[in-house]
Structure 1
Amino acid sequence: MGRKAGLLYINPKKFSSANKPCMKEMISFLNCLSLNQMSDEKCLRNKELLSTCMDAQTNKKRKSWGSINYQLQRLSKGRK
């Protein structure tokens, strides 16, 4: 269920909006920058919104995959 661009396989499900939680904030900040000739002073509010969104994403705890030794043991069990 993908499209081929030349020899490259592109999975369209990978580009869903669920994987991009701060996309709206980033687009609004970039639009503000383009309208104001790359002036940060005029886009402070958008910049703050983007940074708070990005900080909220980095603070979320990811499920740990375990140590490297655990992963190697799992791989070796599957090969037997």
Structure 2
Amino acid sequence: MGRKAGSLYINSKKFGNVAKPCMKEMITFLNCLSVNQMNDEKCVRQKELLSTCMDAQTNKKNKPFGSINYHLQRLSKGRK
């Protein structure tokens, strides 16, 4: 189940944590909830900002390409 010796491999999990697009909005919304004793009627503005940020993220298209490791395997097969 392991990888072949000498093959190219990039740990994609390291790069997955780089972009956290709505983290700031979520933190401000959670802080507002904690200050107002979980009363979300007082946090309408923060809730709207978080929902718009999340909606903008779902509208982004995923890349039609495979993972980077798939492409590295394809390149190494052509090199041999």
TM-score range normalised by the length of the shorter chain: 0.5 to 0.7
- 1:40-51 equivalences under 5 Å are 40-51=40-51
Which consecutive residues of structure 1, in runs of 5 or more, have no partner in the other structure?
A: 1-10
| Partner of residue 37, structure 2 | 37
Query: Is residue 26 of structure 1 aligned with residue 39 of structure 2?
Result: no
Structure with greater strand percent: 1
Find runs of 4+ consecutive structure 1 residues off by over 2 angstroms.
Answer: 11-16
Which consecutive residues of structure 2, in runs of 5 or more, have no partner in the other structure?
A: 1-12
SS at match of 1:45: helix
Distance of 1:26 and 1:60 partners within structure 2: 19
Q: 1:63 offset after TM fit, Å?
A: 1.1
| TM-score (normalizing by structure 2) | 0.60
What amino acid sits opposite 2:38 in the alignment? M
Distance of 2:50 and 2:14 partners within structure 1: 25
CA distance 1:63–1:12, shift in 2 (3 Å): closer
Percent identity over the alignment is: 67
- 1:1-80 equivalences under 5 Å are 14-16=16-18, 19-65=19-65
The higher relative CO (CA closer than 8 Å, separation ≥ 6) is in 2
Distance of 2:62 and 2:40 partners within structure 1: 32
